[in-house]
A and B are shown apart, each in its own frame.
Chain A
């Protein structure tokens, strides 16, 4: 019998702790497959965040480091400067990257650090129980924006991919989504491209992945994918934002 699909060995056999229908699991698979297909698992280093993906070092079957909240790009910088032949990536949520870690991500891009960032934008703080993130949409209800995000009070959602694309040192920036099989295929391509950018020594690469948080959005997985498509994609347009 022909095998048409098998789990990549770049993921361990550990059972993932993510909620049913959460996008984190999908993105883990895409990242692991990309690393596998590029044949760089033996030199890849994952730098994982504080957020729901805090245990990602249990799942990526490669050398890994856990970073303090928001500091993954600085940790990745330290690793890459010591061993430039390593393929170093950070995997970060939107609280981690777009709030507490903005200085680190902006300056990693600004230095043209030859690392790759996988940025999971799920418009909320998942791990801490559904608080407002900088990426939370205007009007979106969270535990700390119980009346819906008010633009006058706390600003508009931040578009990280567009912002980082303006920085001279960034070499490849794309926004993708994991809400449909078609978009998942595109996401995989983008992730692979980002690693290729690093391997080519071109500079900083980042893929922003629009993802869901059914648990804290208070929706079923299917509803959450629909909500992502109808609400997030219009505000966060998909596509390549920069390629050098």
Chain B
């Protein structure tokens, strides 16, 4: 299916289709709700495009298959939901340490533990601050609609290849399950992708023009490990400079600024409309990359003279809240609305909280 007509699609399926259109030909996964429509779509579609779908014995195995395929030079992805991402975290650290590109989707569900199968945003820390061990980062995209998710997939693969890093799409289960009209028109942003001369594909001692490939994250001498880390940190810095994506909605001259990502940001927009009816001017800062975090944009929107305070809204106990507070640096009051687990705040609750802040 490569037509570009608008069609109604479930988020998970649309993301899977976008990945195939972005040239992904290998998918390794393990069933978990609410992301099963991704592997199911891949199982049906990959064989039709000469690709490979393989159901692994666990998320641990799946991410290690991704590691192998990425090391062999393939465009490869996996997807899961919260508990499965915890299992993948060791592997993600190895992918990062071995400087391999890959794409990972997390359709977040409620936690901790087995939690619920409803939407949540409880994995923000895990996605943006580590999850696995060591000083590594992933670029993390947080779409707030099915169309945006689709548009970010090609970008995600290209960014992974450009910087040789794992890239994650951090979506809540609502995005995955929701049906919305989507178009597959977005083409690559025209990045010139580096050739994968480092891939392990078989090496001829006499004829190969490249060095022998060693895909590895072991640097036993501390100077060598330092070199790897310096290389990674330099790359992360460049990413922070070049790859931030953020939506500023109605922020100019606003009295209050809402901060939210994913589905919650859409509810915030409804709250903004309700507030406008009451004559309160409210804006929204919506990070599209939650790492690299739009620290400057968040700061500038909230530090404006007109702003009385900011309200961070999440389906969590307040995780992105910490990054917002760092960005605002005490210049304005920052409040929080949200619950851990799977309870999605309503537009009315958000409005009431804004009114309360005004008192």
Q: Which A residues have a C-beta under 8 Å from some C-beta of B?
A: 9, 41-45, 47, 54-55, 57, 61-68, 71, 74-83, 85-86, 103-104, 106-107
A-B contact pairs, 10 of them (CB 8 A): A42-B207, A55-B218, A64-B200, A65-B68, A68-B91, A77-B68, A79-B69, A81-B26, A82-B72, A83-B201
* Number of chain B interface residues as a range: 35 or more
Q: Which B residues have a C-beta under 8 Å from some C-beta of A?
A: 26, 28, 52, 54, 56-58, 60-62, 64-74, 76, 90-91, 94, 98, 200-205, 207-208, 212-218
The residue from B57, B61, B73 contacting A82, defined by CB atoms under 8 A apart: B73
Q: With A61-B212, A65-B215 given, is the CB distance from A78 to B71 under 8 Å?
A: yes
Are A75 and B68 closer than 8 Å at their CB atoms? yes
Q: With A42-B203, A43-B202 given, is the CB distance from A74 to B68 under 8 Å?
A: yes
Bound-state CA distance A102–B185 (Å) is 45
Chain A residue nearest to B70 (CB atoms) is A78
Are A78 and B200 closer than 8 Å at their CB atoms? no
Bound-state CA distance A42–B200 (Å) is 11
Q: With A62-B212, A64-B215, A65-B215 given, is the CB distance from A78 to B202 under 8 Å?
A: no
Bound-state CA distance A5–B70 (Å) is 39
Are B72 and A79 closer than 8 Å at their CB atoms? yes
Chain B residue nearest to A85 (CB atoms) is B202
Which of A9, A71, A85 is packed against the most chain B CB atoms within 10 Å?
A71
Chain B residue nearest to A47 (CB atoms) is B68
Q: With A47-B68, A83-B202 given, is the CB distance from A77 to B54 under 8 Å?
A: yes
Interchain nearest-CB distance for A195 vs B (Å): 14
Work out how many contacts link A and B, with CB atoms closer than 8 A: 133
Bound-state CA distance A125–B148 (Å) is 50
Hey, which chain B residues are within 8 Å of A61, CB to CB? 205, 212
Are B98 and A66 closer than 8 Å at their CB atoms? yes
Bound-state CA distance A44–B91 (Å) is 23
Q: With A47-B68, A66-B98, A78-B66 given, is the CB distance from A57 to B216 under 8 Å?
A: yes
Bound-state CA distance A27–B70 (Å) is 28
Hey, which chain A residues are within 8 Å of B207, CB to CB? 42
The residue from B56, B76, B208, B213 contacting A74, defined by CB atoms under 8 A apart: B56
Bound-state CA distance A127–B234 (Å) is 33
Hey, which chain B residues are within 8 Å of A86, CB to CB? 72, 201-202
Interchain nearest-CB distance for A1 vs B (Å): 25
Are A78 and B67 closer than 8 Å at their CB atoms? yes
Q: With A78-B28, A79-B69, A79-B71 given, is the CB distance from A64 to B58 under 8 Å?
A: no
Bound-state CA distance A107–B56 (Å) is 8
Hey, which chain B residues are within 8 Å of A71, CB to CB? 60-61, 64, 67, 91
Bound-state CA distance A194–B333 (Å) is 67
Q: With A42-B202, A78-B76, A83-B201 given, is the CB distance from A66 to B218 under 8 Å?
A: yes
Q: With A66-B98, A66-B216 given, is the CB distance from A104 to B69 under 8 Å?
A: no
Hey, which chain B residues are within 8 Å of A55, CB to CB? 218
Hey, which chain B residues are within 8 Å of A47, CB to CB? 68
Are A103 and B58 closer than 8 Å at their CB atoms? yes
Hey, which chain A residues are within 8 Å of B91, CB to CB? 68, 71
The residue from A41, A44, A79, A85 contacting B68, defined by CB atoms under 8 A apart: A79
Interchain nearest-CB distance for A18 vs B (Å): 15
Are A75 and B64 closer than 8 Å at their CB atoms? yes
Bound-state CA distance A194–B2 (Å) is 43
Hey, which chain B residues are within 8 Å of A103, CB to CB? 57-58, 60-61
The list of the 3 closest CB pairs from A to B, nearest first, reads: A78-B68, A74-B64, A78-B69
The residue from A43, A66, A85 contacting B214, defined by CB atoms under 8 A apart: A66
Hey, which chain A residues are within 8 Å of B94, CB to CB? 68
Are B61 and A107 closer than 8 Å at their CB atoms? yes
Are A65 and B200 closer than 8 Å at their CB atoms? yes
Q: With A74-B56, A86-B201 given, is the CB distance from A63 to B212 under 8 Å?
A: yes
Bound-state CA distance A62–B72 (Å) is 13
In the complex, besides A66-B216, A103-B57, 8 extra interface pairs with C-beta distance below 8 angstroms are A43-B202, A45-B202, A62-B212, A66-B98, A74-B65, A78-B66, A79-B71, A104-B60
Are A104 and B67 closer than 8 Å at their CB atoms? no
Interchain nearest-CB distance for B58 vs A (Å): 6
Q: With A57-B214, A66-B98 given, is the CB distance from A75 to B201 under 8 Å?
A: no
Bound-state CA distance A82–B67 (Å) is 11
Bound-state CA distance A57–B23 (Å) is 31
Interchain nearest-CB distance for B161 vs A (Å): 15
Bound-state CA distance A76–B58 (Å) is 15
The residue from B54, B65, B67, B202 contacting A63, defined by CB atoms under 8 A apart: B202
